[in-house]
């Protein structure tokens, strides 16, 4: 059985704190040798489990820790736990049998014990001196040396198969969760990132299970083949993988649930914080039908009736006399969670038992495109040969097609954010953290765009405004162009949400590249409360964004608040009201006179 070096560190942190040590910041403990040494020299080393004492010399050394390796668990050490982030050297050749390995360990341990008996405390003193621990903090001589020998045997057993095999594989990190992300986007991001790092022969290797693949490549200076494990069984499985320590990063096509956050917090910190929750791209939940279906648009109430089975024939919506065939993603899917939340729960219905469920996005889309009468929901890149419908948030509202712009601004009713969740315990120099940094960069977002999803890199367009929009709004935006984002806020607060905090940097880069342009901020509210109060709230939200941009050196020419005018979602639901509370960013040339302040 194996355990990981990272797992030992996490368990060591918990044991030290239980034995009276100060609260340990694990990333600092991993990255800062002086911090490690201070913590360990203040600890009661004798009280530690021998499984942790075997790694003391490495912890007290000034060299960077290699947390990306796996150590073989020795049978005599029963306190180690398997699991955790897997960083392993694998081989296709079998190692020595269990009994043979046990015999070797016992012989070596006996030899070490004899050496201790013969040399007395000198061996122990040398070990303590090497580790940098004061003699007063005795480490139980026989146990310490035994543990060191055990670690050496384990390391030797771990290395032997790799040395004997020409195709040794080292797993750098494991990425589990959303099929929407994992089926096509994650492989492309991984390939682009490792190619940027100088990797050669980057390839994606399909495993026995359809939604499981390995990304394999070679790195300069590394003899082992490098591996990223990719399992895309659905968003909830990413969080389950973090909980069981079978995954290092979680992919999700919906935000982490409160129950998941609570379960994972003792292990990884607050996964909803700006440091751990990363929006990797935008996606529109497309409603797809057979290409010959004459229907052009639908509202969410009609969608709820269709997928609950209340509408069972297309004739009920003015279409042909043809039965409705329902296609849905499976229970583990974040796509399903999003649709369930945005459509079914919103209208108080449940999915029909007649719906066919699919784990694969591509398979669902392919089935819908081939069967007249079929309807399904899917991530925007998976529309493929099917037909996407325009969607209105409520009856009588203007239907909106899922386009790059309407999804990036979240004006399309069934827009969702795609996430990767990074435990706070990951070292800043770890491959997984460096990959996350790439994904959210301009280069990474360009990969998102090329993969068919919606990039967060800013676009500037001059939208065609509907004459049904309020005259005040049309006057303010006349002749201007709009940036492809909206600033939104944490629910019930005036605090910018995680995406908005990162979008500030994107807006700054845009104006740095376009110095002759002026920013115009327009705030909006939901319809709760009086019109005058709502206008003040919307002005306040726009002012918050202005202050944030001013603090970063960006001058804002105009700030307006239009209250509840021009809603993009229904005010009848909490999620709709939250989407309506937003700040749009418009851009004008400096030659145009400013509009009167509102």
* Range with lowest mean pLDDT among 33-37, 120-124, 303-307: 120-124
| Section 247-251 average pLDDT | 98
Segment 281-289 shows an average pLDDT of 93
Whole-number Å distance between alpha carbons of 108 and 128: 21
Rounded average pLDDT over 33-61: 79
Asked if residues 576 and 569 have their Cβ atoms less than 8 Å apart, the reply is: yes
Task: Tell whether the model's pLDDT for residue 258 goes beyond 90.
Answer: yes
DSSP track, 507-568: HHHHHHH-TTEEEEEEE---SSS-HHHHHHHHHHHHHHHHHHHHHTT--EEEEEE-TTSS-S
Average pLDDT over residues 491-511: 92
Higher pLDDT, 39 or 122: 39
- Reported as a pLDDT band with limits 50, 70 and 90, residue 271 is very high
Q: What is the pLDDT of residue 78?
A: 35
| Mean residue pLDDT across the chain | 82
pLDDT for res 594: 54
Is the pLDDT at 51 greater than 50? The verdict is yes
Give the pLDDT band of residue 344 (cuts 50, 70, 90): very high
Where is average pLDDT lowest: 55-64, 505-514, 575-584? Answer: 55-64
Residue 554, pLDDT score: 87
> What backbone torsions phi and psi does residue 17 show, to the nearest 5 degrees?
-65, -40
CA atoms within 13 A on the CB side of 49: 17
- Whether pLDDT at 70 is above 50: yes
Mean of pLDDT values over 217-231: 96
pLDDT above 70 (res 149)? no
Mean pLDDT, range 314-340, rounded to an integer:
92
Segment 256-266 shows an average pLDDT of 95
Return the pLDDT at 145: 36
> Does position 7 have pLDDT exceeding 80, yes or no?
no
| Whole-number pLDDT of residue 338 | 87
Segment 144-148 shows an average pLDDT of 40
Residue 464, pLDDT score = 80
pLDDT at 31: 73
Q: Looking at residue 221, what is its pLDDT?
A: 92
What mean pLDDT comes out for the span 376-395?
90
How confident is the model at residue 592, as a pLDDT?
53
Phi, psi of 158 (to 5 degrees): -70, -35
Question: How confident is the model at residue 59, as a pLDDT?
Answer: 83
Sorted by sequence, the CB contacts under 8 Å of residue 93 that are 6+ apart come out as 161, 164, 165
Strand ranges (DSSP E) for 101-241? 169-177, 200-206, 212-218, 225-231
pLDDT > 90 in the chain, percent: 56
The predicted model gives 292-307 an average pLDDT of: 95
Flag whether pLDDT at 186 surpasses 50. Answer: yes
Q: Return the pLDDT at 108.
A: 46
Residue 160 pLDDT > 60: no
Residue 452 has pLDDT above 80, yes or no: yes
| Contacts of 299 by beta carbon, 8 Å cutoff, 6+ apart | 391, 392, 393, 394, 395, 397, 399
Please give the pLDDT value at position 596: 55
Residue 497 has pLDDT above 70, yes or no: yes
pTM of the complete model: 0.67
Q: What is the pLDDT of residues 456-490, one digit of tens each?
A: 999 999 888 888 889 999 999 988 999 999 999 98
């Amino acid at each position: 059985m194996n355990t990981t070096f990272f797992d030992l560190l996490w368990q060591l942190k918990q044991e030290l704190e239980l034995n009276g040590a100060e609260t340990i910041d694990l990333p600092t403990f991993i990255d800062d040798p002086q911090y490690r040494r201070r913590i360990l020299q203040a600890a009661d080393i004798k009280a530690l489990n021998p499984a942790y004492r075997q790694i003391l010399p490495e912890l007290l050394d000034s060299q960077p820790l290699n947390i990306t390796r796996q150590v073989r668990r020795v049978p005599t050490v029963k306190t180690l736990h398997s699991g955790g982030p897997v960083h392993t050297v694998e081989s296709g050749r079998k190692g020595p049998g269990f009994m043979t390995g046990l015999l070797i360990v016992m012989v070596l341990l006996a030899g070490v014990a004899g050496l201790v008996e013969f040399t007395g405390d000198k061996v122990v003193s040398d070990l303590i001196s090497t580790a940098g621990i004061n003699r007063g903090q005795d480490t139980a001589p026989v146990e310490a040396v035994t543990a060191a020998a055990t670690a050496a045997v384990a390391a030797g057993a771990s290395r032997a198969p790799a040395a004997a095999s020409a195709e040794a594989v080292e797993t750098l990190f494991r990425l589990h969760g959303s099929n929407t992300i994992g089926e096509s986007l994650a492989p492309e991001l991984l390939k682009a990132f490792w190619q940027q790092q100088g990797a050669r022969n980057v390839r994606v290797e399909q495993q026995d299970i359809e939604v499981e693949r390995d990304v394999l490549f070679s790195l300069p200076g590394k003899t082992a083949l490098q591996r990223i494990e990719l399992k895309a069984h659905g968003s909830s499985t990413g969080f389950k993988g973090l909980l069981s320590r079978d995954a290092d990063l979680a992919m999700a096509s919906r935000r982490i649930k409160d129950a998941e956050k609570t379960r994972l917090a003792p292990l990884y910190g607050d996964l909803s914080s700006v440091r751990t929750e990363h929006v990797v791209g935008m996606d529109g939940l497309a409603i797809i039908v057979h290409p010959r279906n004459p229907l052009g648009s639908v509202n969410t109430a009609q969608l709820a009736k269709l997928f609950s089975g209340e509408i069972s024939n297309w004739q009920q919506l003015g279409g042909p006399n043809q039965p409705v065939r329902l296609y849905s993603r499976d229970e583990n899917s974040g796509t399903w969670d999003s649709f369930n939340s945005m459509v079914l729960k919103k209208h108080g219905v449940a999915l029909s038992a007649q719906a066919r469920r699919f784990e694969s996005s591509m398979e669902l889309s392919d089935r819908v495109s081939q069967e007249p009468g079929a309807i399904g929901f899917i991530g925007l890149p998976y529309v493929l040969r099917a037909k996407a419908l325009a969607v209105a948030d409520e009856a009588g509202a203007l239907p909106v097609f899922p386009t790059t712009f309407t999804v990036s601004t979240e004006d399309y009713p069934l827009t969702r954010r795609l996430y990767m969740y990074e435990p706070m315990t990951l070292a800043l120099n770890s491959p997984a953290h460096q990959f996350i940094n790439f994904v959210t960069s301009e280069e990474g977002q360009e990969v998102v765009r090329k993969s068919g999803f919606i990039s967060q890199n800013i676009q500037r367009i001059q939208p065609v405004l509907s004459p049904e929009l309020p005259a005040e709004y049309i006057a303010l935006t006349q002749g201007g162009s709009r940036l492809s984002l909206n600033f939104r806020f944490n629910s019930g607060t005036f605090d910018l949400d995680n995406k908005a905090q990162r979008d500030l940097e994107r807006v700054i880069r845009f104006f740095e590249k376009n110095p002759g342009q002026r920013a115009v901020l327009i705030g909006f509210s939901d319809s709760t409360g009086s019109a005058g109060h709502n206008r003040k709230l919307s002005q306040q939200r726009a002012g918050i964004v202005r202050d944030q941009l001013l603090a970063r050196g960006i001058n804002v020419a105009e700030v307006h608040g239009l209250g509840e005018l021009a809603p993009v979602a229904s005010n009848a639901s909490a999620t709709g009201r939250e989407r309506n509370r937003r700040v749009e960013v418009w851009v004008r040339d400096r030659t145009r006179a400013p509009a009167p302040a509102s």
